[in-house]
Amino acid sequence: MESSTIAVSAADGTPLHTYRWLPDGPPRAIVQISHGMAEHAGRYERFARALTAQGYAVYANDHRGHGLTGSASDRGHFADHDGWDTVVHDLGTVTEFAQTEHPGVPVVLFGHSMGAILARSYAAIHGSRLAALILSANSGANPLAPVGVALSALQSRLRGRRHPSGLMDSLSFGKFNAAFKPNRTASDWLSRDEAEVDAYLADPHCGFVMSTTFYGDLAAGLRSVLRKSAYAAVPTDLPILLMSGEHDPVGNGGRGPREVEAGYREAGVTDLTSRIYPGARHELLNETNRDEVTADVLAWLDERLPTRD
């Protein structure tokens, strides 16, 4: 296995800090990872190593405002305008870069949480480019999303587009830990594995507050992927794997994942698998049963992607 980091140039010239993990020998497929909010792509190395051991090449970029993409002043901020569409377009740029390195190799898109919403947006536009779609920690409709868009716009006008919004952060995540009292940390909702939670809290590239504009981007992005037209735009023959933890507050007790599953089924997707892991919380790849989750992903991929000589 070979690992490296590269700068992939986005359409506007922004260098996208990208991790690349390559197997020994020609890859059977490319797995592209779209990470979640207030984290970074480097956290997926353990998962990437498991994939490369089975012959997959893995590419994962830090989204704008995350990790090592952009400067410190960009942290938590997609863009002043059209941030959601810009980051979705970035995914396509990384896909194209990976395909230039591995011509003719199929691409699987894996998205976690916010990254899963971005992946759903991407699949609704460019689903024909994908061989499979894997979505982790899925969220359904949020009745407060329109309020979030309006409040984000108001805060942007009053405080500036790049202002870290503690108010929006509290409104979005303030209740996520409530089900896990007595709380050991403010991030117990992420995983039952205390060491993984502590690693997240100790990581300087995790847990930061996002910008006022970002929250409007996120709310608008979620609303867009929940439209019937977005589900219908995904190719019906695209294999889709949905994975969530039973106690993931982002999934609202399993209601969010079931809503996403119903959306794709009603749209006619013919190869749709949904798994909700008992007792698990938000970050399945960092959960106490992560080996089970990884094995399930590999088995699902093995059934759909041929080996390569």
Q: Which domains does the chain have, with CATH numbers?
A: 2-143+227-302 (3.40.50.1820)
pLDDT of residue 25: 95
- Residue 161 pLDDT > 80: no
Q: For 10-59, what is each residue's pLDDT tens digit?
A: 999 999 999 999 999 999 999 999 999 999 999 999 999 999 999 999 99
> Residues 287, 193: contact at Cβ < 8 Å?
yes
pLDDT value at residue 173: 77
pTM of the entire predicted model: 0.95
Contact 91, 60 (CB under 8 A): no
